[in-house]
Amino acid sequence: MNYNLQLDKNLTNKFVSYYNTYLEENKDSRILFSFKSENFKIIIYNSYKVMFQGVNGYKEYEKWAKHLNVDLIKPVDESKYNNQYSNKKIIGSDEVGTGDFFGPIVVCAAYITPKDLEKIKELNIQDSKNLSDKQISILGKELIEVISYHVLVLNNEKYNELTYQGYNMNKIKAYLHNHAIKKMVDKHKSFDYVILDQFCEPRNYFEYLKAEKPFKTIQFHTKAESIHKAVAIASIIARYKFLLEMDKLSKKIDITLPFGASASVDAIGKLIFLKYGDEIFDKIAKKNFKNMKRIIT
């Protein structure tokens, strides 16, 4: 397993001095320095990205992550991915934003092959819930450059319109997932399985889509991010896009919008209400959440 850190250029000499005993000859033009011991290998690339490998690779990574005061990425138990989907071409789909009063709902379907996993193995892909938003931002930027995916962003105006029409959250999610999955199925005919992070019973999922033409050959799994990395990657990309949308909305009203639906969200909501009135919430919030009533009363 590989672990990465972005090293400040000014700290490079300190890093090289620390590992000087293990410095090895390097002929790769992409690499500034390479260090190797019996238990680890550390590479500093021209971009000042540092990659830690080997038995004690995580130990060395953890030491420097704490020193640089950056968020630690937890080790991934790769054995959990050894299942019937290993070495298969998978379309994985996941969503974010459904528990947040502010901001849109974002669904992503990602197509992942064994070759893709080989290309991104150094990124230490795992459940997005184990990653900080800063880590999501870094991973998201890299993944969208190398992975085939389709993202749908349901803005707040459309969300509120659908809830006024009687759609519940699960029906909305079913429509979004179905659309994203069909886009990827049309694009990649050679897939083996479609895996969806299960948010309702399969029979209910298809009942929500009875007026549509749903893609039906789906493998439903709870905690699907732990079943195949296609779902974990879809989750990371969806979260990355969600963070970008939240940043846009925050800049639009000149107030940083919080995540979730807690009392602290209500406090920011009241501030927005006093500044802009209630109409602004059509564009920035999910008005059927209980937060809305607490904010305006």
Are residues 243 and 108 part of one domain?
Answer: yes
Are residues 152 and 44 part of one domain?
Answer: no
Contact 246, 102 (CB under 8 A): yes
Q: What is the CATH number of the domain that holds 53?
A: 3.30.310.10
Position 60 in a domain: yes
| 111-139 pLDDT per residue, tens | 999 999 888 877 767 667 778 888 899 88
pLDDT higher at 190 or 76: 190
Q: In whole angstroms, what is the distance from residue 18 CA to residue 176 CA?
A: 51
Contact 160, 282 (CB under 8 A): yes
Position 272 in a domain: no
Are residues 93 and 64 part of one domain?
Answer: no
Distances (CA, A) of 162 to 11, 158, 241, 286, 287: 52, 6, 22, 11, 11
Report which of 232, 261, 91 is spatially closest to residue 169, judged by C-alpha positions.
261
Query: By residue range, what is the domain housing residue 65?
Result: 3-70
pTM for this prediction:
0.79
Position 151 in a domain: yes
Q: In whole angstroms, what is the distance from residue 13 CA to residue 11 CA?
A: 6
- What integer pLDDT is reported at residue 12 of this predicted model? 87
Q: Confidence class of residue 287 from pLDDT cuts 50, 70 and 90?
A: very high
Q: What is the CATH number of the domain that holds 123?
A: 3.30.420.10
- What integer pLDDT is reported at residue 76 of this predicted model? 63
Report which of 131, 167, 163 is spatially closest to residue 243, judged by C-alpha positions.
131
Q: In whole angstroms, what is the distance from residue 99 CA to residue 260 CA?
A: 6
- What integer pLDDT is reported at residue 260 of this predicted model? 97
Q: In whole angstroms, what is the distance from residue 52 CA to residue 60 CA?
A: 7
Q: Confidence class of residue 79 from pLDDT cuts 50, 70 and 90?
A: low
Cα 124–Cα 134–Cα 128 angle in degrees, nearest 5 = 50
Alpha helices for 85-124 (secondary structure H): 114-119
Give 211's DSSP letter. T
